[in-house]
Amino acid sequence: GAGVSQSPSNKVTEKGKDVELRCDPISGHTALYWYRQSLGQGLEFLIYFQGNSAPDKSGLPSDRFSAERTGGSVSTLTIQRTQQEDSAVYLCASRRATGGAEGYTFGSGTRLTVV
């Protein structure tokens, strides 16, 4: 597609439930990033996929968070046993392999609210 697509755009879930957030990157973009923005905070790095390399998971805040990228395209971020502190906007970005940092294209994000 023309841009990075994220779904759902909004998600309200009960504490303790699992959620899945989806990201469709731009076709041909081999690098994919997940960030989140909590209220009053900057964008916090979560995880980075580059081609077939092992993902950089250094930003995942706990083992309740996991992500996968199937076929080098669509990515799913899963949060298990959600907590209220998981409430945030989750942003996905993709980039061409040879693109510089300005080549990041962000989606509009998924606003997650845990009640």
Partner 1 sequence: DQQVKQNSPSLSVQEGRISILNCDYTNSMFDYFLWYKKYPAEGPTFLISISSIKDKNEDGRFTVFLNKSAKHLSLHIVPSQPGDSAVYFCAASALANSKLTFGKGITLSVRP
Site residues (vs partner 1, CB under 8 A): 4, 31, 33, 35, 40-45, 48, 56, 91, 93, 95, 100-109
CB of residue 42 vs partner 1: minimum separation in angstroms?
A: 4
Q: Quick one: 14 or 98, whose CB is closer to partner 1?
A: 98
Q: Which two tokens stand for residue 45?
A: 């790095």
Please give the single-letter amino acid code of residue 115.
Answer: V
Q: Quick one: 33 or 65, whose CB is closer to partner 1?
A: 33
DSSP string, 63-111: TTEEEEEGGGS-EEEEE-S--GGG-EEEEEEEE-TT--GGG-EE---EE
CB of residue 20 vs partner 1: minimum separation in angstroms?
A: 19
Nearest to 30 by CA among 13, 55, 66: 55
CB of residue 107 vs partner 1: minimum separation in angstroms?
A: 5
CB of residue 81 vs partner 1: minimum separation in angstroms?
A: 27
Q: Quick one: 50 or 80, whose CB is closer to partner 1?
A: 50
Burial status of residue 97 (CB atoms within 10 A of its CB: 0-12, 13-18, 19 or more) = exposed
